[in-house]
Amino acid sequence: MKTQYFTASSLDGYIATEDDSLEWLFPLGEVSETSYPSFIAEVGALAMGSATYEWMLRHVVQPEGKEPQPWPYSQPTWVFTSRSLPAVPGADIRFARGDVRPVHAEMVSAAAGKNVWIVGGGELAGQFHDAHLLDELFVQVGSVTLGRGKPLLPRRITSPPLRLRSVRQVGEGFAELHYELPRPPSP
């Protein structure tokens, strides 16, 4: 069981624009060509921040001008938020706030031996990193720059540095990077 942050980023390190748009991402390639299908098969629980959840509601579950869709994940999903958000009927969505550590323990239990996926955003992934709970980072670096936006992982991680485990080209639009996050030395 590992806790993994799997996301896409612009070449200059942003996962979304300042207004939480991901429109820059879709023209770059097909998700079926990436490692996502094999990755999601090994996920037993997910966590996301409120901005990611609200984006999912607007663009996946209730896309403007289109037929409503079901929640795309069968796994239990924890949404970290400080405010009330609507639930998705029939989906196993649990709202959480505060320290990620006790929620992570619940997620690990619910995952039943499978991996825990930190969907996003970067600040939430950073909180899991700060609590020494993040094991791996998978980032699909897109061939665009945004100039500004929501950062990939707004933390200084220099000691110990991340360990690059693999690099793979995905079409003409992505480089898929896989890093391991070593545990800091014990004091």
Per-residue tens of pLDDT for the chain, all 187 residues = 999 999 999 999 999 999 998 999 988 988 888 899 999 999 999 999 999 999 999 988 987 778 888 999 999 999 999 999 999 999 999 999 999 999 999 999 999 999 999 999 999 999 999 999 999 999 999 999 999 999 999 999 998 899 999 999 999 999 999 999 987 666 5
- Helices and strands in the chain: count of H runs, count of E runs: 4, 10
DSSP code at position 26: G
Q: 175, 41 in Cβ contact below 8 A?
A: no
The pLDDT value recorded for residue 86 is 93
Report the distance separating Cα 111 and Cα 47, nearest Å. 12
- pTM, whole model, 2 decimals? 0.93
pLDDT of residue 186: 60
Per-residue model confidence (pLDDT) at position 125? 97
Place of tokens 């942050």: 5
Q: In what order do the strands lie in the sheet with 3-9?
A: 93-96, 77-80, 43-49, 115-120, 3-9, 136-142, 174-180, 163-170
pLDDT given at position 185: 63
pLDDT given at position 159: 86
The closest alpha carbon to 77, from 88, 92, 63, 66, belongs to 92
